[in-house]
Chains A and B, each alone.
Chain A
Amino acid sequence: MRAFEGLRFRKVSSPIHRLDPRAKFIGSFIVFSVAVLFTELMPLIALFLLQVPIILAAKVVKQWLESLRGALFLSGMIFVMNLFVGYALLYSAAMSFRFLTLVASFSWFFLTTSPDDLGLALERSRVPYELCFAFTTAVRFVPVLADEAQTIIDAQRSRGLELDRGDILKRIRNYIPILIPLIVNAIRRSLELAEAMESRAFGSEAERTSLHVLEMRTFDYVFIILAVVLLFVALYVRFFIPFQWII
């Protein structure tokens, strides 16, 4: 549950939060793609450091570090696995660092983009409204479900359930008293939500209007241009600079 904290949107007033979600998506996606282009440590470290100013400007350093800490275990696994199957030390380090860079780009995108903005952006990209709505609702309910799961665990432990007792099969079975109430409540809640939405005329008109309308501003274009420049620089380095010059 802790790892999710590092992806959970919180309302903060910062230039990055105010960026258009589409601009942020392009930025985050380009970082992602560039990370996939390289298997060398140096460019990956540079890419990682390039994101630090964004995090600082967005004032989400703490949550971002939290998400990285969550990823550290998997990153360590990747390192060990690569070494284990016989790759070089430097390559293994690069692979595990690549994973961290990917998580970092994901993390700042989700930390600074509200589910509502994300939904709006999807809508503007002509994704059917029902799908956008399903998506934003799902994202919004993740923290609610996480809290509820914790309360259910507390309630069952109060009735003597010990999750980490018994052999592996017993341990899996121990989760049944947690999962059933969680699923039943989620279904119940979704049915109630559907009724409440229909009572407020959800889906009655084919054309919807929006309370907030997305508009690209100068800063959004600047951000996109910087990201595209990064992409071209990365492509240039990748394909026109000899391999041995990059470590």
Chain B
Amino acid sequence: MIEVDKVSYAYSSGTVALKEVSLKIQRGEFVAIMGENGAGKTTLIKHLNGLFKPTKGSVTIDDVDTRERSVAELSRKVGLVFQNPDHQLFSETVEEEIAFGLVNFGYDPETVKRRTVWALNLLDLKRYRDSSPFMLSGGERKRVALASVLAWNPEYIVLDEPTIGQDQMQKDRLRELIIQLNTQGRTVIIVSHDIEFVADCAPRVVLMSQGGIIADGPASTILTDYGKVLAASLVRPQITQLFQSLSDLGLSGNIIDLYEAERLLVELIKGDKL
């Protein structure tokens, strides 16, 4: 379990990026952290593997205070994938890039090989195995970065803005992958602006604004709440907007799922005809 307890954090420049943030995430949960630019999302997740230690309050991972462990020790459990892959890619080949973490953690050569191949396949990167990561497209570089962390199979997976620079097909695949990892028991935490993507995943949603948490609950409750969504500088999913503006027809106001929307509409139309 991840327990963030009344955490405040100030950068050395004086900016207070987090103000008394408290958050509990159980094992096996799927959580999306959303909020405007500068809300403090990245600052918050950098606390989860100990890169940042709270100025005030505490962060514990499975009952261990992050102050008592090194970043390397914590990262083994909490895999953090940064927003911009260009802040980490450096190897000659994609394969070496993916093996980097495994080597750092001291896995034996046999395991390094096996896990690297596994991660290459998982993110559909096998054909780029011997390519230079610098030659790949933005979306592919992002997948290499993701593979390089998933490779050591961390129990908690934290992704900062994973959908940026991905086209719709890749987003769909990414969603399937995230849901697959989550069903296999991994705890997944994503930071995202992409409300349609989050609505499709339907996780628990934590809304942040100006360094604090302003709402926390299931996606269908949070993402359909006009006021809360607006307070985090987001707009409701399109399907929700449609259903809410058609509420006079007796349509439900907390729809985020396309299939359910379709079912309700078909019901309505058929009902009218009868």
Which positions in A face B, CB cutoff 8 Å? 2, 5, 148, 151-152, 154-162, 176-177, 180-181, 184-185, 188
Tell me how far the C-beta of A247 lies from the nearest C-beta in chain B, rounded to whole angstroms: 40
> Given A154-B51, A184-B134, does the pair A159, B90 have CB atoms closer than 8 Å?
no
Tell me how far the C-beta of A10 lies from the nearest C-beta in chain B, rounded to whole angstroms: 10
Find chain B residues with CB under 8 A from A157 CB.
51, 71-72, 75
Query: Number of B residues whose C-beta is below 8 Å from A?
Result: 26
> Given A158-B75, A159-B149, A162-B72, does the pair A185, B46 have CB atoms closer than 8 Å?
no
Tell me how far the C-beta of A200 lies from the nearest C-beta in chain B, rounded to whole angstroms: 25
Within 8 A of A (CB), among B73-98: 75-76, 79-80, 82, 84, 86-90
Among A2, A5, A156, which residue has the most Cβ atoms of chain B within 10 A? A156
Tell me how far the C-beta of A150 lies from the nearest C-beta in chain B, rounded to whole angstroms: 10
A–B Cβ pairs within 8 angstroms, 19 of them: A151-B84, A152-B88, A154-B46, A154-B51, A155-B82, A155-B87, A155-B88, A158-B79, A159-B101, A160-B75, A160-B104, A162-B70, A162-B104, A177-B100, A181-B86, A181-B87, A181-B88, A184-B134, A185-B86
Within 8 Å of chain A (Cβ to Cβ): is B148? yes
Taken together as a complex, chains A and B put the C-alpha atoms of A2 and B71 apart, in Å, by 21
Chain A residue at smallest Cβ distance from B105: A160
Within 8 Å of chain A (Cβ to Cβ): is B49? yes
* Interface contact A181-B80, CB-CB below 8 Å: no
Chain B residue at smallest Cβ distance from A181: B90
Among A148, A157, A184, A188, which residue has the most Cβ atoms of chain B within 10 A? A157
Tell me how far the C-beta of B112 lies from the nearest C-beta in chain A, rounded to whole angstroms: 12
Tell me how far the C-beta of A142 lies from the nearest C-beta in chain B, rounded to whole angstroms: 15
Find chain B residues with CB under 8 A from A177 CB.
88, 90, 100
Given contacts A148-B87, A157-B51, 19 further A-B contacts (CB under 8 A): A5-B12, A151-B82, A152-B87, A154-B82, A155-B87, A155-B88, A156-B88, A157-B71, A157-B75, A158-B49, A158-B71, A158-B82, A160-B152, A161-B100, A162-B70, A181-B88, A184-B86, A184-B134, A185-B87
Tell me how far the C-beta of B37 lies from the nearest C-beta in chain A, rounded to whole angstroms: 16
Find chain B residues with CB under 8 A from A181 CB.
86-90
Tell me how far the C-beta of A169 lies from the nearest C-beta in chain B, rounded to whole angstroms: 17
Taken together as a complex, chains A and B put the C-alpha atoms of A152 and B85 apart, in Å, by 10
* Interface contact A159-B148, CB-CB below 8 Å: yes
Find chain A residues with CB under 8 A from B89 CB.
181
Taken together as a complex, chains A and B put the C-alpha atoms of A176 and B80 apart, in Å, by 20
Taken together as a complex, chains A and B put the C-alpha atoms of A140 and B101 apart, in Å, by 34
Taken together as a complex, chains A and B put the C-alpha atoms of A151 and B84 apart, in Å, by 10
* Interface contact B75-A180, CB-CB below 8 Å: no
* Interface contact B71-A151, CB-CB below 8 Å: no
Chain A residue at smallest Cβ distance from B71: A157
Tell me how far the C-beta of A234 lies from the nearest C-beta in chain B, rounded to whole angstroms: 38
Chain B residue at smallest Cβ distance from A174: B104
Find chain A residues with CB under 8 A from B90 CB.
176-177, 180-181, 184
Taken together as a complex, chains A and B put the C-alpha atoms of A151 and B80 apart, in Å, by 13
Chain A residue at smallest Cβ distance from B51: A154
Tell me how far the C-beta of B200 lies from the nearest C-beta in chain A, rounded to whole angstroms: 27
Tell me how far the C-beta of A192 lies from the nearest C-beta in chain B, rounded to whole angstroms: 12
B52-86: CB near A (< 8 Å → 1, else 0) gives 00000000000000000011100110011010101
Find chain A residues with CB under 8 A from B80 CB.
158
Taken together as a complex, chains A and B put the C-alpha atoms of A185 and B141 apart, in Å, by 14
B94-130: CB near A (< 8 Å → 1, else 0) gives 0000001100110000000000000000000000000
Taken together as a complex, chains A and B put the C-alpha atoms of A156 and B148 apart, in Å, by 11
* Interface contact A161-B86, CB-CB below 8 Å: no
Find chain B residues with CB under 8 A from A151 CB.
82, 84, 87
Among A154, A158, A176, A180, which residue has the most Cβ atoms of chain B within 10 A? A158
Among A152, A155, A156, A161, which residue has the most Cβ atoms of chain B within 10 A? A155
Tell me how far the C-beta of A236 lies from the nearest C-beta in chain B, rounded to whole angstroms: 45
Taken together as a complex, chains A and B put the C-alpha atoms of A151 and B100 apart, in Å, by 18
Taken together as a complex, chains A and B put the C-alpha atoms of A159 and B46 apart, in Å, by 13
Chain B residue at smallest Cβ distance from A154: B51
> Given A151-B82, A177-B100, A184-B134, does the pair A159, B87 have CB atoms closer than 8 Å?
no
5 cross-chain pairs, A with B, having the tightest CB-CB distances, nearest first = A160-B104, A180-B90, A159-B101, A155-B88, A158-B80
Taken together as a complex, chains A and B put the C-alpha atoms of A117 and B150 apart, in Å, by 48
